[in-house]
Amino acid sequence: MEQVVFFYFALVIAAASVLVVALRNPIYSALALLIMFFHVAGLYVTLHAEFLAAVQIIVYAGAILVLYLFVVMLLNLRQDDRYHRQWPMAGIVGATLVIEAIILTVMKGWTSPVVATGTETTVGATTNAGAIGDVLYSTYLFPFEVASLILLVAMIGAIMLAKKDIGEC
Partner 1 sequence: MTELSLRLAVSFAQILAEMSIVMITVATLTYFERKVLGWMQDRMGPMEVGPYGLLQPVADGIKLFFKEDIVPAGANKAMFALAPMLTMVVSMIGFAVIPFGPNLTLDIYGMTIKPFVVADINIGILYILAIASIGAYGIILGGWASNSKYSLLGGLRAAAQVISYELNVGLALVGVLMLAGTMSLVEITEAQSGGFWHWFIWGGRPDGFFPIHTQIFAFVVFVISAVAETNRIPFDLPEAESELVAGFFTEYSGMRFAFFVSAEYANMMLVSCVASALFLGGWNAPYPGTIFEYVGLEQLAWIEHIVWFAAKVYFFLFMFIWIRATLPRLRYDQLMRFGWKVMLPIALANIIVTSFTLYFFPR
- The residue ranges that bind partner 1 (CB under 8 A) are 27, 31, 34, 50-51, 53-55, 57-58, 61-63, 66-67, 69-70, 73-74, 127-129
Nearest approach, Cβ of 104 to partner 1 (angstroms)? 33
For 36, counting Cβ atoms within 10 Å of its Cβ (0-12 exposed, 13-18 middle, 19+ buried), the class is buried
Nearest approach, Cβ of 64 to partner 1 (angstroms)? 10
Nearer to partner 1, 15 or 57 (CB): 57
Please give the Cα distance from 8 to 166 (Å, whole number): 50
Number of Cβ within 10 Å of residue 16's Cβ equals 20
Nearest approach, Cβ of 81 to partner 1 (angstroms)? 17
Nearer to partner 1, 73 or 93 (CB): 73
Nearest approach, Cβ of 74 to partner 1 (angstroms)? 7
Please give the Cα distance from 15 to 30 (Å, whole number): 14
Number of Cβ within 10 Å of residue 5's Cβ equals 13
Contacts of 127 (CB under 8 A, 6+ apart): 51
Nearest approach, Cβ of 94 to partner 1 (angstroms)? 28
Nearer to partner 1, 100 or 145 (CB): 145
Nearer to partner 1, 91 or 157 (CB): 157
For 41, counting Cβ atoms within 10 Å of its Cβ (0-12 exposed, 13-18 middle, 19+ buried), the class is buried
Nearer to partner 1, 99 or 156 (CB): 156
Under 8 Å between Cβ of 42 and 9: yes
